[in-house]
Amino acid sequence: MNDSSRMGEMRSDGWLFTRAYAKVNLTLDVLGRRADGYHELASVLQTVALADTLAFRALPNGQIEVFCDAPALRGPENLVYRAVEALRGATGCRRGVRIELQKRIPAQGGLGGGSSDAAMVLLALNRWWHLGLARERLLELAASLGSDVPFFVLGGTALVEGRGERVTPLPDLPGMWVMLLKPSVAVSTPAAFRALTPADYTDGQATATLVSAIRGSALPSLDGLMNALEARVCQEYPAVAESRAAFFQAGAQFVCMSGSGPTLFALFPSLAEAAPVYQALLGEGRQVWLTRAVSRKEALRVVSLPGESDI
Ligand code: C5P
């Protein structure tokens, strides 16, 4: 097998296509505020099948070009661009690349879209350019790009701690349907964290309980899902509280916010249970996606050598 055939869809015309999956936070404990201004977290993250598409093609003379179908995300401040520069800076590699990015994951939704794109650039170019960076080094580069990026270097189901830089892989959850509902409001991540008071901090118990359940192959209890940022976000953004009520009204048994929001999610063991809820929310003209949990192997397939995704 040559290198390109191991890497997803490398076409004969030189384009390499990969997918960058979104995530949801099944739990998000905020343990406290750190001296550096960040917050200490304990969170179980899960990749879901909603994905952006990245296309890579070699460019001469070390040029870097990034094109995104969303005009607001075209500039050099896009994390994709910064990921290429971080990789080149770390290795001295001067190869050029054009990256075309088709956004499907809503930006600033709490679903990690930009972070996932950046992680996929690190993984794909490390492989394509034969840079040979070990996973630990990729995790460091990922952390330099943003708190959510390290998770996507592993994907699947994982425990994330610290600022986001400590990622521990967990066994895959059983297959399940994940419904996403995005309220029509933008929530700034720094503002969501700033709004927390010590009364909002949690002790990490919800995350620890879920981690034990997953390690013991028990089905996670829906009641155990929580997000320490959710109450304040609902308080400050009535559109999120309203969407949450609508999700329950449509038939969801349990609703949780992902990341700093505003996207809400609900889990369903079968499509038969999910479909009526999805139809009801669509009928109300809401932004809703019916997607599914994605295993680590599937999330990393496009950039893994045989055996390497079995962490
Ligand atoms: O790391 P990143 O730039 O993605 O974080 C965005 C913002 O979210 C930070 O500037 C900080 O305000 C907040 N944040 C935090 N604690 C974390 C992660 C993010 O306070 N663990």
Ordered by start, the domain boundaries in the chain are 3-171, 177-292
Residue of 140, 189, 207 best suited for mutating to test ligand 1, as the one with most atoms within 8 Å of CB = 189
State how far the alpha carbon of 168 is from the alpha carbons of 67, 155, 210, in Å: 33, 10, 14
pLDDT, residue 75, reads 79
pTM for the structure as a whole: 0.93
Nearest to 193 by CA among 142, 148, 230, 149: 230
pLDDT, residue 73, reads 86
CATH architecture of 3-171: 2-Layer Sandwich (3.30)
Ligand 1 atom at shortest distance from the alpha carbon of 162? 21
pLDDT, residue 10, reads 63
Profile the chain (311 residues) by mean pLDDT over runs of 10 residues: 49 83 98 96 98 94 94 87 97 96 95 98 94 95 98 97 97 94 96 95 96 85 90 97 98 97 96 98 98 94 50 39
CATH architecture of 177-292: 2-Layer Sandwich (3.30)
pLDDT, residue 74, reads 83
Ligand 1 atom 21 nearest Cα: 163
Catalytic residues: 23, 148
Ligand 1 binding pocket (C-beta < 6 A) is 38-39, 41, 146-148, 163-164, 189-190, 193
Compute the distance from residue 38 Cα to the ligand 1 centre, in Å: 6
Exposure letters 41-74 (e unless 16+ CB within 10 A, then b): bbbbbbbbbbbbbbbbeeeeeeebebebeeeebe
